[in-house]
Structures are given as C-alpha cells and as structure tokens.
Chains A and B, each alone.
Chain A
Amino acid sequence: MSTLTIENLSKQYGDVTALEDVSFEIEDEFVVLLGESGAGKSTLLRCVNGLTEPTSGTISLGGEPISDSQADIGMIFQQHNLVDGVSAYLNALTGSLNRVSMLRSLLQWQSRADKLSALEALETVGLLEESQQGVSQMSGGQQQRVGIARALVQDPRLLLADEPVASLDPSSAETVMGYLRKAAEEHDVTALVSLHQVNIAAHFGDRFIGLRDGQKLFDVEREELSPELIDDLYGSVETVALAKPEEIAGAGPGELDGVPGEIEQEIEA
C-alpha cells in the first residue's frame, strides 16, 4: 500500500506561485519529474516530504495524510545533506534515528538489526568497503550514494530525490541513477525523482510528469515521451538531447556511456 496521492496541491511564496493545482497518483513505479529550474519540482518534493507546508491541497501516502517529515519517506537531496564530520556508515545509520531514543542514538546503541541494515544499504549502493571512510573524503557521486543508503535505512515506502545528480559529472550521474533505480527495485518502493537532464530521465524512468510554471503539463508513460512534449517543456534546445527518443527509451544500460559494466550487471540483476 504505498500509493502516493497528490490532490490539488498549491504552494505560494508571497506573490510567487510555485505550484498550482497539481494532482496525480503514483504506485510502485519509478516516476521522473521533469521541468526547468523554478518549475516547482523541488517545492513539490519538499511538500511531499513535509519540509515545506503546502498552501492548499492534500498529500497522502497509503491513504494517510502527510503533515511532517516521516520515516517512511526517504529523501535524497541535490547537495547530499550528509553529516560531514563522520563516516559513511554513521551517516547511513542516521536513517534509523526515528526508531531509537535520543540517548541510545547519542551513544550509538542502535540495535543489531539497524546496524546491519545500514551496512546492507551501503552494500546496495556499492560502498560496503568504503563504509568506514569519512564522507568529506568521498567524491560527489559516492556521497550521493551514501545519501541513497541513508534513505534506504529508513525502510521507506516512498523514495524522493530532488535533482540527485545535478551537481555530478555525466558518468557519475549515470552511476548514481543506476544505484537509485536498483535500490528502488530491490526494496520495492515507489520513487519520485526530479531531474533536468532529459537523456538520463528517459533512460531510467518508467513514467514522466512534466511541470512548467508550477502546473502539470503532462503525465506520460515511457513509450509516450515524445520530442514534442519535451519541446513544450523546455523550448527547442533540449530536443537535441532527445534526438531519437525510441532508441534511448528502449536502450539497455550498456549503450550508455560511462557506466562501468560491472555496475550495469548489478543494476540489471
């Protein structure tokens, strides 16, 4: 029962309308939010996560309304938002904070199950060997994978990712997206990911929701994603990136540049 239902969601920042009457429902899918900067993607995700209060409308997960940040919604941020001073393992472990008391969490007295789940999440994102490494010594892509691990430790029903690869180079971006997709599939969670790189989105998404000026422009399955729709969303420039949508949409990960073969197999598996 991890259906995310958004009904008539609107958000105003003073005079600026960030979101206007957006409604959709997603369930057990990997959904990509597309749109230019300022289209309302981040605001939508922050509302779903409870970090921002919507002006009107309702959001519910599995039929229950969402009001504040909660454990069963994992969030992955563009700037990772990890705790810098500590290891990848301790960062992943913060995903279990909601399950332990203040005192136990301070003394790192998490249960064996929580500790194992932190290590397993790091294994899922291919960082088990690096788990003792300080996150500030890691590359941007690795840090983002720790961010995914933290979200997984929360044992979420819904994964949200706000431009998770925007600050990464193309090769790391594809690696991270591969792990995100794999994580969502392994843990059987619904994922809602905002992206602005159309080619990456087309490769990893099942379903695409386009936002422009805070309004929903389209909501299509992978097969229906056409250059015309992208054109509407971004203007003509981005269409170049989606020269042959059928090809890219149907392509296996092997045809993408920069993803190491090993990882592809893992993703496929």
Chain B
Amino acid sequence: MSTPPSKGDSLAAYFGYAEIGDSPAERKLQEMKRRKTRRRLWTLAGVIATGTLFYASLLLIEFNVAELIGQLDQFYEALLEYFPPTTYFGIPFVDVGAYVDFMIAENLILTVENGQIVWGAMFVTMAVAFAGTVLGLPLALFFGVMSSERVIPYPFNFVFRATMSLIRAIPGLVWFLILIPLAGVTPFTGALAIMVDTTGYLGRLFTDELEEIEDGPIEGIRSTGASRSQVVSFGMLSQVFRQFIAWIAFDLEHNVRAAIGLGIIGAGGLGLELYIQRQTFHYTEMMACIILIFLLAGSVELISQRVRSALRDDDTVEKSGVLEAFVNAPRNILASTMGRRGR
C-alpha cells in the first residue's frame, strides 16, 4: 500500500497538493498538509500586512536614522546638561547641588515664608490627582453601580454604561481642553478633567467587579426585610469592598501620572514646570523636575501597591468594620512593607 517515494519527495507533495495514494490514512495526511499550507499562507499574509503598515508609518513620521546619528553630538551636549558633571572630594559625579538649587529657587517642593507653608509644584500635581480622584469617586460609584445589570434591569443600565464609554472614548488631556472655558487653564480644571476620567475608568472597573458577585449574600440580606438600597450596599457592595479599595488605589496611581501630563498642557504643578524649562532649553532644571516626577509617581505607586497587597491577604479587615480597617491600614501597610506579616 505504500506510495512510490518519487511522489512523496516532490514540493507539491510537501504542501499537500500531489496525488498520493487513496487510503483513508493517506487522504487524512494530505488534508492535514493542505491545512498546514493554508495556515502558513495566512501567517505570511499577516507578516506582509504588518510590515507594510510599519513601513508606511515610518514614512509618515519621516523616520530617519541618518538624522539621529547626525544629532548625536547635540544629544550628548544635552545629556551633559541633564546630568551636569562635578566632583565630590575629587570623585566625578552628577552635580546634585544644581538640581537642589533649582528645586529650592522655583519652590518645587515646599518652602516656609513668614511662618506660612507655601506648597510647591510637586504638591500641586499631587493635589490635582488626589482632588480629582476623590471628586470622581462618588460619580464612579454611582455610574458603576447603576451600570450593573444586578441593580438596574437590562436595557436601562445601558444608559449609564454608554455614558461611561463616551467618557472613556475621550482622553483625559482632551477633557482638560474641553473644560478650559469652565475654569480656565488652571490646576482646578486639571482636577475636573481627572474627575471625569475617573468616573469613566473607575466606574467601569466597579461594574466589572459587580458582575462577579454571588447571589447568596444578596438573598440573605433581602430575606431580612431590608430596603432595596440596603440590599445593594450590604448584599452587593460589601462583597466587593476590598476590590473597590484596591482599584481606587490603582486609579490614584494612574491619576498622578495623568496630572503630570495635564500639567504640561497647563494644569500647573510639575508638568508645567517641566514644560517651561524645556521651552527655555534649561535641561538641568528640566531633569530636576523629572527626578521629582520619578519620586512622586514612584512613591504613590509603592503606597498603592502596599495598600493592595495588604488588602489581599489581610484578615484584620474581616474582623473589623470599614472604619477600623481604614484606621488600621497605615500600620498594616507598614507591617507588610517591613515583611513582618507572617505570624
């Protein structure tokens, strides 16, 4: 029953288009080869399409390696300004003093004048992010809960869902531009933009969490004769309380970065300072801003991660009520950061 070897060796046979024997097994083999050939053709088409798009994109942005190489000298000079060299006790190092001088001169962190604290750019950025998050939180909660099919029956919950989709379709930076007529090119508008953005994103995360909850506790609370809003808060929201806190921490982290971006287009704080220094080609000062951005975003991320990890494996949250959980949180975060959580 074997086919002559000459047929099996040909290219057509390799791709599954040669005449081979007609036993069921041979036909199956033929079919498998043909399928593999088709799959390879699709892969090839995909690679070609991606390559073409990539090439077209490079043309569109006028990508030019020669120019990059030509500009290397200039970039090197900029690097020297980004990281101004100096020597400490004869050892060459980056001139940290230059950064600090600028941070103090421009009040990037904070100063005390006549016994009054003057908050610097870093705190303005933090305030934009924090105020925006807190303002957006109730809206996110409202839209998130109302979008859940568990709370509002099917077609009606889509009104809220669609509103959140619409908000998300427009980037936060654009929301800032839209809201400028309302409150000017100010940190206030920045906080409003973050509030809108938070409503769209955090609300959506809340809705997703709510779709996962169990029916049991809802029925349990309902059976006690509780009101509808009590069933929602005790039967449903209590099930996702920890997840919500974790998402809020994550969103705050995201909003701090967003606030820096908003600063660049006018919402003040570190972003604005960074933009001004770049416009005036003060690269050392620019790097001072970037260092503070790094410190701010990094520490907020660290805190947010610790909050989330403390919530994940913390049973004291269960033992206590909501309020106590908040009161105990700093201690637990500290404990978990120091790695003293195991008993």
Contacts and interface: CB of A to CB of B under 8 A. Distances in A.
B217 A83 contact: yes
A77 B216 contact: yes
Given A51-B222, A70-B225, A87 B216 contact: no
Contacts of B223: 49, 51, 69, 73-75, 77, 81
Contact of A106 (B233, B239, B242): B233
Contacts of A49: 223
B323 to A, nearest CB: 8
Most chain B beta-carbon neighbours within 10 Å: one of A82, A85, A147: A85
Given A51-B222, A79-B216, A97-B224, A105 B318 contact: no
Contact of A105 (B216, B230, B239): B230
A79 B219 CA distance: 11
Contacts of B221: 83, 94, 97
Interface SS of chain B: helix
B319 A83 contact: no
Contacts of A81: 216-217, 219-220, 223
B230 A77 contact: no
A132 interface: yes
Interface stretch (A14-22, A30-38, A133-141, A256-264): A133-141
A36 B45 CA distance: 61
Contacts of B235: 83
B160 interface: no
B238 A83 contact: yes
Most chain B beta-carbon neighbours within 10 Å: one of A70, A90, A108, A150: A90
A175 to B, nearest CB: 21
A80 B321 contact: no
A77 B218 CA distance: 12
A53 to B, nearest CB: 14
Most chain A beta-carbon neighbours within 10 Å: one of B217, B225, B229: B225
B223 to A, nearest CB: 4
A105 B234 contact: yes
A83 B318 contact: no
A98 interface: yes
Interface of A: 49, 51, 69-75, 77, 79-87, 90, 94-95, 97-98, 102, 105-106, 108, 132-137, 147, 150-151, 154
27 contacts: A51-B219, A69-B222, A69-B224, A71-B225, A72-B225, A73-B225, A74-B224, A75-B220, A79-B216, A81-B217, A81-B219, A82-B220, A83-B239, A85-B317, A85-B318, A86-B238, A87-B319, A87-B321, A94-B220, A95-B224, A102-B233, A105-B230, A108-B321, A132-B320, A134-B318, A137-B318, A150-B220
Which 5 pairs from chain A and chain B are nearest by CB? A134-B318, A81-B220, A71-B225, A97-B226, A75-B223
